[in-house]
A and B are shown apart, each in its own frame.
Chain A
Amino acid sequence: MAYSFPEEVLEHVFSFLSSDRDRNAVSLVCKSWYDIERWCRRRIFVGNCYAVSPEIVIRRFPELRAVEMKGKPHFADFNLVPEGWGAYAYPWIAAMEEAYPFLEEIKLKRMVVTDESLELISKSYKSFKVLVLTSCEGFTTDGLASIAANCRHLRELDLRESEVEDLSGHWLSHFPDSCTSLVSLNMSCLGSEVSFCALERLVARSPNLRTLRLNRAVPLERLANLIRRAPQLVELGTGAYSAEIRSDTFSNLADAFSACKQLKALSGFWDVVPSYLPAMYSVCSGITSLNLSYAAIPSSDLVKLISQCQNLQRLWVLDYIEDSGLDALAASCKDLQELRVFPSDPFGAEPNVSLTEQGLVSVSEGCPKLESVLYFCRQMSNAALIAIAKNRPNFIRFRLCIIDPQAPDYLTLEPLDAGFGAIVEKCKELRRLSMTGLLTDRVFKYIGSHAKKLEMLSIAFAGDSDLGLHHVLSGCDSLRKLEIRDCPFGDKALLANAAKLETMRSLWMSSCSVSFGACKLLAQKMPRLNVEVIDERGPPDSRPEGCSVERAYVYRTVASRQRLDMPDFVWTHDEDSSLRYS
């Protein structure tokens, strides 16, 4: 049977498929579908930049318009990955320069981006539109200047929490007067002052501006003028929210806010002076996302603000909110979907605010749509976790961090196995879980048997033996990312579940009991896995066999296992002599 749809029809059908998974499935049907699909794929997402090489991507997808990529593992955020490990964006950008002249979007997360890369981006692509750098590092404001100056049709410049070497604020002035296409600008991670006139003019000539996130150096007095020029803003990040208490500043600000009828998200709020918060009350009823995680606002003012935001869906806040504030939140924001509570004084020995597990319990009771939680607290009990699980079985992301590692249930002094067990048992749709506290192998047994949809698991200072790891690797069917630190997991579980590792994106184990011999064996057994031993103490074979490696990072890859940019503290399998690690 040679009947088939003409290519154009199939292409048209495929254009309705936006999800990568659907597209991947489609390309597996037959050879002709594979070919058609690869020619019409416009966006790709590479979850691990070392899982594939630029050449392979370019060969398969010749007509890309948008590339999204992630580099370092998640624990790099907490300084567990040494500097110089890798994740350089330049090779990708250099390779894509020739292959994709019409590239429009580049989104990178946890990669090292240099000024050369940014310059190359700005000069190579004629219709470049979107640049999003999340938690990236390695570039300076000069790189930003070249992006601003050369990208004529720039729509989004988003530097979320990147580490930028701030040489000056002049980069903003490099936006040409002809640039009117800006839709989103996020410079909240920068430190230095930009020219306010340039900023105001830029905002004024960008009628499509929807997102504007300022940095701390923009004072409150300037904010009113900026907002006034962009009443169509949907997301606003303020600068420093403090000024001398003056009625004219206040009224100015209040008027400016009231003109923004479409404002949905607010963030920023460094150095808050609470008396200026009421200036925002006019927009609060429409606000769905509120990020106060840099704002030291006492609980009473927070409550007043939050009770105005009836439609709040996402709240990021410091633990100054305290249990009383969370009670108020539960009472007034019934649409709440995501809550993140960050610690204001994580290194203090004693708690400085009265935030306990009770706050989370009341929020889980009061907010029926709550599905994502990140909660830092100092005490937790099994009873509370069981109550939370019962109240809110629709959790998708549950990340709990008790400041003291290995803290037991503070009421009974038992491990928190039962509590987390209840969470995984009741929350059937749980996709992401981070656990802390005193945990034994039992909790891993629960996870292995119940958490069938779990995709990402973060473990620290938990478990007793290899059995824990074995439960997780053998039981969690959907597991994609597993990151472990300081747990007594060793070789046996790792080697027994070697095949599982190929179905996952990556496995990170640091300060565990994995020996170098096991890493070698694993790399030999599984040719599609790259087992990186990251050890700053020197060559691993100089130490005896039983000694554990500092960190092991195992990920599946179709690229060469000896990546060219490996620093000298990383060891991987040497292809030439299968028994020797170079």
Chain B
Amino acid sequence: MASASDCISQTGPGLKERNYFGFSDCSSVDRSTVSSAHLESKNNMNMKATELRLGLPGSQSPERDSDFSLLNSVKLDEKPLFPLAPSKDRICTLSQKTVASGNKRGFDDTVDGFSESKTTNFSEGNWMFNATGSDPGQAKLAGNVISIRPSGTQLAIKSEVPAKTLQESTNKIIGTNTANAPAAKAQVVGWPPIRSFRKNSLVTTSKTNDEVDGKPGPGALFVKVSMDGAPYLRKVDLRMYSAYKELSSALEKMFSCFTIGQCGPQGAPTRKMLSESKLRDLLHGSEYVLTYEDKDGDWMLVGDVPWEMFIASCKKLKIMKGSDAIGLGSSSYQVLLHFKAKKSLMYPCFVWDLAVYQCFYKESFRPDYGSDVPECFVLMSDISFICLLAFSCVFLECLLRLRLYLLFILNLDFLVEAQ
């Protein structure tokens, strides 16, 4: 067992770590290697987080990588326990905290979470972990990092946990809809094995037969999603989402590969550099618009009707270019537009309505300023546009009134239309 001083000298520069527990040599060496490993893995993780991938909604980084899943989950869970901001020398900070609080278990668990191979070193030795239940904070970590047992079983458990999380995550990926399941059971993709043709017939059959029964609809509702310029279309299960936001983020992920192809010169390198937020701007910055075909065959913009109504009437989805989508819209809006176009000259207030509606309600009609223009400028330009319209309306009204006044007051006959 090395003395405390040895341990201190072996740790990284600039650290004032006090090793009160008499950890062995190997442990401190490992600690530094573990910290560097943690660094490396953290960097990798950041890269991975920005890397674009085609994933189903709900598939956050844990699903992609069993090792990283442990990392992430440990990280996430530790935040409430160790409120110090995660820094590069994370482990050392934590150990200071543990030292201060006298809670050695937390430190060991953290380290165990990061390095599986080091567990043997830690588990043997003079400090003993208490039983699992005694630390309430333990319970949170234990779910992800089962590290309280001695080394032999520890490794075994390690290998089990990734498999389990992977199994769970593959279940998530294949669409287990535990959060949003209308029925008591979670739905699995493609189960029971009934052809979609038959499933759809069943839906309509059951609807006609039990009209009183307000049972929630059957499992999956797959609709095709096509995108202008994409070589093939995809299918999404609308019942997996409960709001428009989830659907649009899922579609963004799904079709990211196509938009990248358009904005970057080569495929692979730009993929990594483009962050998710930039991609969202690209999709939302009036470049592409999400539309759907309803039961009557009309193409409408997604987002007008309540979600339940939308999934009941949506037959197909299409991501079209913003320029193509002008003139499209909810049916009421189209009627309004038509009406307004006719009457605008006579009734300036309708022009005002039109301007307001255009600028504030429908993003797609806003002129494209690009994504790096601040919001306030956009707002200002909208306001100036409205003012311009307002002035022109007032001007037109004045002209009309002027005509009447001139008729009455000046008796100018030539202003009257020929009989």
Contacts and interface: CB of A to CB of B under 8 A. Distances in A.
Interface of A: 75, 77-80, 82-84, 135, 161, 163, 189, 270-271, 293-294, 296, 342-349, 376, 401, 403, 405, 434, 460, 485-486, 511, 513, 536-538, 542-544, 546-548, 550, 567-569
Which residue among A75, A405, A536, A548 has the maximum number of chain B CB atoms within 10 Å of its CB? A536
Q: How large is the interface on B (under 10, 10 to 19, 20 to 34, 35 or more residues)?
A: 35 or more
A321 to B, nearest CB: 15
B201 interface: yes
Contacts of B173: 537, 550
B224 A83 contact: yes
A39 B167 CA distance: 53
A271 B187 CA distance: 27
A80 B237 CA distance: 12
Given A82-B234, A348-B183, A349-B185, A536 B193 contact: no
A568 B51 CA distance: 16
B206 A80 contact: no
Contacts of B414: none
Given A79-B237, A83-B235, A486-B174, 18 more contacts: A77-B193, A78-B191, A78-B194, A79-B189, A83-B232, A342-B194, A344-B205, A346-B192, A347-B187, A348-B183, A434-B193, A538-B52, A542-B48, A544-B66, A546-B66, A546-B162, A548-B166, A548-B170
17 contacts: A77-B195, A80-B190, A84-B233, A271-B205, A271-B208, A343-B192, A344-B205, A344-B206, A346-B202, A347-B219, A349-B183, A401-B193, A537-B53, A537-B59, A537-B63, A537-B173, A538-B51
B194 A537 contact: no
Contacts of A135: 195, 197
B65 A83 contact: no
A79 B224 CA distance: 12
A536 B55 contact: yes
A161 B184 contact: no
Which residue among B52, B59, B209, B232 has the maximum number of chain A CB atoms within 10 Å of its CB? B232
A567 B59 CA distance: 22
B51 A542 contact: yes
Given A83-B232, A344-B202, A547-B65, A78 B193 contact: yes
B233 A346 contact: no
A289 to B, nearest CB: 18
Contacts of A79: 189-190, 196, 220, 222, 235, 237
B209 A296 contact: yes
Contact of A270 (B55, B162, B205, B232): B205
Which residue among B52, B54, B63, B220 has the maximum number of chain A CB atoms within 10 Å of its CB? B54
Interface string B247-265: 0000000000100000000
Contact of B192 (A163, A376, A485): A376
Contacts of A80: 189-190
A88 to B, nearest CB: 10
Which residue among B170, B192, B196, B209 has the maximum number of chain A CB atoms within 10 Å of its CB? B192
Contacts of B342: none
A567 to B, nearest CB: 6
A550 B209 CA distance: 39
Contact of A342 (B52, B66, B198, B231): B198
A151 to B, nearest CB: 25
A547 B66 contact: yes
A75 B235 CA distance: 15
B247 to A, nearest CB: 17
Nearest to B201: A294
A80 B202 CA distance: 20
Contacts of B205: 270-271, 294, 296, 344
Contacts of A536: 54-56
A194 to B, nearest CB: 17
Interface string B174-216: 1000000001110111111111111101100110110000010
Nearest to B59: A537
Given A294-B205, A349-B185, A78 B190 contact: yes
A353 B320 CA distance: 46
A84 B232 contact: yes
B166 A403 contact: no
Interface string B148-163: 0000000000000011
A548 B195 CA distance: 27
A189 B170 contact: no
Given A79-B235, A84-B233, A270-B205, A343 B224 contact: no
A543 B62 CA distance: 12
B340 interface: no
Contacts of A538: 51-55
A189 B197 contact: yes
B218 interface: yes
* Closest CB pairs A-B (n = 8): A84-B232, A78-B190, A538-B53, A347-B218, A347-B219, A536-B54, A161-B197, A346-B192
A267 B347 CA distance: 61
B105 interface: no
Contact of A511 (B55, B174, B199): B174
Nearest to B235: A83
Contacts of A543: 64-65
Contacts of B202: 344-346
B287 interface: no
Nearest to B187: A347
Contacts of B232: 83-84, 567
B114 to A, nearest CB: 15
B64 A460 contact: no
Given A80-B189, A83-B235, A349-B183, A547 B166 contact: yes
A543 B63 CA distance: 10
Contacts of B224: 83
Which residue among B64, B191, B198, B233 has the maximum number of chain A CB atoms within 10 Å of its CB? B191
B105 to A, nearest CB: 28
Contacts of B65: 543-544, 547
Contact of B193 (A271, A296, A460, A567): A460
B78 to A, nearest CB: 23
B25 interface: no
B195 A348 contact: no
Nearest to B217: A347
Contact of A405 (B163, B184, B188, B234): B188
Contacts of A376: 192, 194
Nearest to A85: B232
Contact of A161 (B195, B206, B208): B195
Given A83-B233, A83-B235, A270-B205, A537 B54 contact: yes
B67 interface: yes
A78 B196 CA distance: 7
Contacts of A403: 192
B231 A84 contact: yes
Nearest to B257: A568
A311 B22 CA distance: 88
Nearest to A402: B192
Contacts of A401: 192-193
A345 B64 CA distance: 35
A271 B65 CA distance: 49
A162 to B, nearest CB: 9
A547 B224 CA distance: 30
A342 B201 CA distance: 12
Contacts of A405: 188, 191
Which residue among A293, A345, A347, A349 has the maximum number of chain B CB atoms within 10 Å of its CB? A347
Contacts of B208: 271
B234 A537 contact: no
A542 B192 CA distance: 33
A349 B53 CA distance: 35
A78 B197 CA distance: 10
Contact of B206 (A84, A342, A345, A550): A345
B56 to A, nearest CB: 8
A161 B196 CA distance: 10
A135 B196 CA distance: 10
Which residue among B174, B189, B193, B231 has the maximum number of chain A CB atoms within 10 Å of its CB? B193
